[in-house]
Structure 1
Amino acid sequence: MAVHKVVPVPENADLKRQSLEVPGTKRPGQTAHYRNAIFGYVDLNTPGALTTLPEIFDAGYALSKDLTFLGHRPVVSKSPLKYADHYVWQTYAQVDDRRRNLGSAIHALFENGTVGGGELPTVGLWSPNRPEWVVVELALNAYGKVGVSLYDTLGDEAVEYIIDHAHITMIFTTSYHLARLLKAAPRHPHLKLIVVIDELEPEARRLAEVWSQTQGIKVDELSELENFGKKHRQDIIHPAPTDLATICYTSGTTSVPKGVMLTHGNLATAAQSNLYGYAIGAEDRAILLSYLPLAHIYERINQLAMIALGASIGFFSGDPLRLLEDAQVLKPNYFPSVPRVLNRIYQAAMVAGDVPGVKGAIFRHAVRTKLNNLYSTGAVTHPLWDRLVFRKVRAALGGNLKLVVSGSAPISGEVLDFLKIALACEITEGYGMTETGAVCTRCLPGDPTSGGTVGPPQPAIELKLVDVPGMNYTAEDKPFPRGEICCRGPTVFTLYYKDERNTKETVEADGWVRTGDIGEIDDFGRFRVIDRVKNIMKLSQGEYVALEKIENVYSRIPVAMQVFVHGSSLKSYLIGVVVPDPVQFATFASRVLERRIDPDDVTVLKELCTDSRIADVMLAELNKVAAKSLKGFEQLKRIHLSLDPFTVDDNTLTPTLKIRRRDAYNKYKVVLDSLYELPDPSPESVSAKL
């Protein structure tokens, strides 16, 4: 079977042996090398392997030439804003024509010197997820250009840093960012051409032309380039697997972005690795709902795997508040996601179902029954409870899901197992990073006890655990080896662009990449991420704490919509900011104050955030739950409540919804510093509240 087809888990697969040790690789201070025991090892030399990105498109085109490929919901009204109740689609054949036209035009512009002149033929792409994003990238892939994606919501400083660092002379963007780029143009004299993806209104086009002339930069529309390329069509330039395909800048939680250089071979092998153990059957043509940022490698690899299968990709309308509406219109069967989204679905389902009375009793019985079935047989469906109890949960995401994948950050096994039975579909957790092409480990479908693990190495990766003595993690730990996770394989990068220092800190001489994550491997050969070398701090009494891990524990509690944990090496305890869910917060406050609080009364809710009684009881209830998995010194001792959430727009979240620690602290610096200025809480007072 060619590897660009789905390779299912064999029926006789031994799920108790998911990893194997490579003989002779054990060394002092580290484990042996581990590879996937079910599928073996896959690389560019595997028979039938896809080795470049144009090969991936060709595979999908061969399967689905005249079938739907890229879809979106058109706007039917601008005031009020309203989207159609259906998707409009382009076929693989239509997209093929567009990528050739656009790619020919881009190549001609580089050839005649209109753009280019840097070390690499880089082209910027600054846009939210939409079909044109994919068309542009496919054109770059097919004509030897290096795509550089800009996060749609990056701050000015990071955007301009990347434009300069990658020497971008040509950027595809939306009309929303046009004025911002023109204003910044004098600071980037090498930027020569801005291509607007949208169709500009005549007056807007005229103003853009006048303004661009004063800045010495040209503005074109996407349709103009496509028409030019159609008249001057050139043959596709077939790349080698070693040719650079993209510089993918990390979102930078603590510093300026780092440019991860990924080749055609890296990305093609990552995509094909995802097709091993893929859990949508051959009888179902995949439909993916795209809402995670395409500028991030996680979403791009998911989409590349779908393109190899000739699948359909429907884009959300651009507003997270309309995501469920988009899902109900598209009815996807594949939903790549992240913990923050899945945790909210879990919390909403639990709040709606786990209520007093008969309704709540039925819900809890259904959950127990389905969880017992899951753990004993792996079954996620039930003829009665799916219809009576979980139908609305499934309908919220379109009612057709077959596969949900969680990545980008850790998620609890409890949440995953509940969502498996509530959505009645396969839900797996994966682990990877930009530097590994988003590929590292992934749980196998049908593994009933995989919750809380990230599964075995994917077929294109080998892993090892290396001792971290300062944190007391070693390869000899019992019952399971523990240490920093290190990766190697054909999906793994070798260089940060123009960044020798960070390259040396991350990439070993023999190709191993240090992830900064602490893992352990269980009896079944599955990995679990248990800690983080980065985002680790030491409290004044010498205890190490993993801030991100603690935040993940508290964020599973329904009333806590967001949690930011802060510590100081001069203090013996942790403090934090809790952004409560308004509906849950109103219910909680009503119970504490013994009077009804309206969840829509924002003024009252804000006042309650400053009420010390509310904060004290909230902290006690949060710690009752957290105490099940956190040690005493890992639990919060003081909190500040706020209805002002951490967002991408205020630069306290990365576009993949990870907290930017420095910016989050600065947002609440006055409050957090004041909490530490109070007398240290005594153990007695803390325990009394619990």
Structure 2
Amino acid sequence: MYTSGSMSLPKGTELTHASIVSAIISYAYAADVREDDRFLAFLPLAHVMEFCTEIALVALNNVIMYGSPKTLTNNSPKIMPGTLGDAQVAKPTYINAVPLVLDRIVDGVMERVKEKSNFMQNIFAKALAKKESQETSAFVKKLIDLMVFRQAIPGEKFSWVDLNVVNGYFLRPEKTKEAFFEMDGVRWFKTGDIAEIDDTGAIRIIDRIGDIIKLDNGEYIALGKIEMYLKEHPVIENLFVNAKAGARGCVCIAVPNEQQIKKIARALKLDASRSYRSLCRHPEVVANVLDALQKFGKEKGLRKCDIPLALYLSHIPWVPSCGLVGPAFKLRRKALEFHFQDVLKRM
């Protein structure tokens, strides 16, 4: 299997048969799959988690239904207005998910919540706060799921599977030596992630070492962290933040939600016959989205130096086949920088 190539060229990882079989058995044992469970598959089989999961589910004789990340929810970019997304049609009880897909599900749910009355929005906000609290009992959380969240979120369970550490990188001994080491007889892998331990003792991955950039004022910014927060805005489908060492600040290139862009165009009273592509190039639309992102970033607690100074809207979705994202929709920074090099120079 090959890595996503988010920071450099994809590297082949040497997975053993024992590692794959171990992952399949672990999933079958830990996921607690029932005979009547329904699995919605939308990640490519080039993604090792999806590969192992589907083999396990075939062995367990479970139903597997196939969808697409671009048609997953009612608000997905390839779903016509008024029609249902894959999750609503399939009604799965299990899915595998990656962060970007979860962000899109959250965006879809929040859009539905905004359509409700102020009273129902307050109920949802209080239920969510209660569900997230460490002090809320499991029984109360189940009641909240049944009474509130089952009405908004398709599906019941999300599952992840951890795989054994690989042998190394295929035909890349220098990279293998950099990333793997032994200490006290135990083999370790340097992931390149930056993590923090919260008050509950849980470890949270918050950024990548290669994503830390020093600006001209001496401040450091974390590109991945900025992307993580700004992607939560309902206008954004995907987003890439870029900055060079010594720059005045960062800029971003985003793939917007087509329906949201058309909604903005109507609010700006632009010509209704304009294409989605032309709207993405329209200065007023770009300025409107940039202003919304800047305000949203401040609301999320981003510092002044974290806020993007400029924005470019890309009308073409970033999918694995275009080479700008990996199988799990992780950004391929080098590929994005090369593809948008002329845009970045102008920004």
TM range (shorter): 0.7 to 0.9
- Partner SS for 2:121: helix
* Aligned mates of 1:568, 1:347 — CA distance in 2: 30
Cα drift, residue 258 of structure 1 = 1.7
User: Which structure 2 residues correspond to residues 278-357 of structure 1 after superposition, within 5 A?
Assistant: 278=31, 280=32, 285-306=36-57, 310-316=60-66, 320-321=70-71, 326-328=86-88, 330-355=90-115
* Aligned mates of 2:167, 2:61 — CA distance in 1: 31
Residues 1:351 and 1:286: Cα distance change in structure 2 (over 3 Å): closer
Give the corresponding residue for 1:524: 200
* Aligned mates of 2:286, 2:86 — CA distance in 1: 37
Residue 492 (structure 1) aligned with residue 243 (structure 2) = no
Cα drift, residue 548 of structure 1 = 2.2
User: 1:173-217 CA deviation, whole Å, 9 max, x = no partner?
Assistant: xxxxxxxxxxxxxxxxxxxxxxxxxxxxxxxxxxxxxxxxxxxxx
- Partner SS for 1:512: strand
What is the RMSD computed on CA atoms of the aligned residues?
3.0
* Aligned mates of 2:16, 2:208 — CA distance in 1: 28
* Aligned mates of 1:319, 1:554 — CA distance in 2: 19
Specify which of 309, 315, 328 is matched with residue 637 of structure 1: 309
Cα drift, residue 319 of structure 1 = 8.5
* Aligned mates of 1:383, 1:551 — CA distance in 2: 29
- Partner SS for 1:314: strand
* Aligned mates of 1:574, 1:320 — CA distance in 2: 28
Give the corresponding residue for 2:180: 507
* Aligned mates of 2:27, 2:69 — CA distance in 1: 28
Residues 1:352 and 1:330: Cα distance change in structure 2 (over 3 Å): closer
User: Which structure 2 residues correspond to residues 668-679 of structure 1 after superposition, within 5 A?
Assistant: 668-675=340-347
Cα drift, residue 326 of structure 1 = 4.9
- TM (normalized to structure 2)? 0.82
Cα drift, residue 305 of structure 1 = 4.6
Structure holding more helix per residue = 2
Give the corresponding residue for 2:5: 252
Structure 2 contact 24–53 (Cα < 8 Å) conserved: yes
Residues 1:646 and 1:325: Cα distance change in structure 2 (over 3 Å): closer
Cα drift, residue 492 of structure 1 = 1.2
User: 1:231-287 CA deviation, whole Å, 9 max, x = no partner?
Assistant: xxxxxxxxxxxxxxxxx1223234443221122332333344446764x4x765433
User: 1:71-102 CA deviation, whole Å, 9 max, x = no partner?
Assistant: xxxxxxxxxxxxxxxxxxxxxxxxxxxxxxxx
User: Which structure 2 residues correspond to residues 649-668 of structure 1 after superposition, within 5 A?
Assistant: 649-668=321-340
Q: Tell me which amino acid in the other structure corresponds to 1:297.
A: V
Give the corresponding residue for 2:297: 626
* Aligned mates of 2:69, 2:229 — CA distance in 1: 28
* Aligned mates of 2:215, 2:69 — CA distance in 1: 40
- Partner SS for 2:192: strand
User: 1:387-445 CA deviation, whole Å, 9 max, x = no partner?
Assistant: xx863x44xx4xxx33113xxxxxxxxxxxxxxxxxxxxxxxx5xxxxxxx617xxxxx
Q: Tell me which amino acid in the other structure corresponds to 2:287.
A: D
Q: Tell me which amino acid in the other structure corresponds to 2:66.
A: F
Larger radius of gyration: 1
User: Which structure 2 residues correspond to residues 678-689 of structure 1 after superposition, within 5 A?
Assistant: none
Q: Give me the identity figure in percent.
A: 29
Structure 1 contact 290–315 (Cα < 8 Å) conserved: yes
Give the corresponding residue for 1:569: 245
* Aligned mates of 2:293, 2:238 — CA distance in 1: 12
Specify which of 124, 128, 144 is matched with residue 371 of structure 1: 128
* Aligned mates of 2:271, 2:120 — CA distance in 1: 26
- Structure with greater contact order relative to length (CA < 8 Å, sep ≥ 6): 2
Structure 2 contact 4–332 (Cα < 8 Å) conserved: no
Cα drift, residue 304 of structure 1 = 4.7
Structure 1 contact 314–330 (Cα < 8 Å) conserved: no
- Partner SS for 1:260: coil
- Partner SS for 1:261: coil
User: 1:501-543 CA deviation, whole Å, 9 max, x = no partner?
Assistant: 0110110034110000011223332111122112333323333
Number of residue pairs aligned between Structure 1 and Structure 2: 328
Cα drift, residue 581 of structure 1 = 1.1
Q: Tell me which amino acid in the other structure corresponds to 1:404.
A: F
Structure 2 contact 11–170 (Cα < 8 Å) conserved: yes
Q: Tell me which amino acid in the other structure corresponds to 1:287.
A: R
* Aligned mates of 2:34, 2:318 — CA distance in 1: 42
Give the corresponding residue for 2:223: 547
User: Which structure 2 residues correspond to residues 233-244 of structure 1 after superposition, within 5 A?
Assistant: none
Specify which of 404, 411, 418 is matched with residue 158 of structure 2: 404
Structure 1 contact 287–312 (Cα < 8 Å) conserved: yes
Structure 1 contact 354–363 (Cα < 8 Å) conserved: no
* Aligned mates of 2:307, 2:54 — CA distance in 1: 39
Give the corresponding residue for 2:81: none
Give the corresponding residue for 2:79: none
Residues 1:643 and 1:566: Cα distance change in structure 2 (over 3 Å): same
Structure 1 contact 333–403 (Cα < 8 Å) conserved: yes
Cα drift, residue 583 of structure 1 = 1.4
Give the corresponding residue for 1:678: none
Q: Tell me which amino acid in the other structure corresponds to 2:112.
A: A
Residue 590 (structure 1) aligned with residue 240 (structure 2) = no
Residues 1:514 and 1:276: Cα distance change in structure 2 (over 3 Å): farther
Task: Name structure 1 gaps, 5 residues minimum.
Answer: 1-247, 406-429, 431-437, 441-490, 676-690
Give the corresponding residue for 1:614: 285
- TM (normalized to structure 1)? 0.43
Give the corresponding residue for 1:62: none
Residue 646 (structure 1) aligned with residue 342 (structure 2) = no
Cα drift, residue 584 of structure 1 = 1.3
Q: Tell me which amino acid in the other structure corresponds to 1:626.
A: G
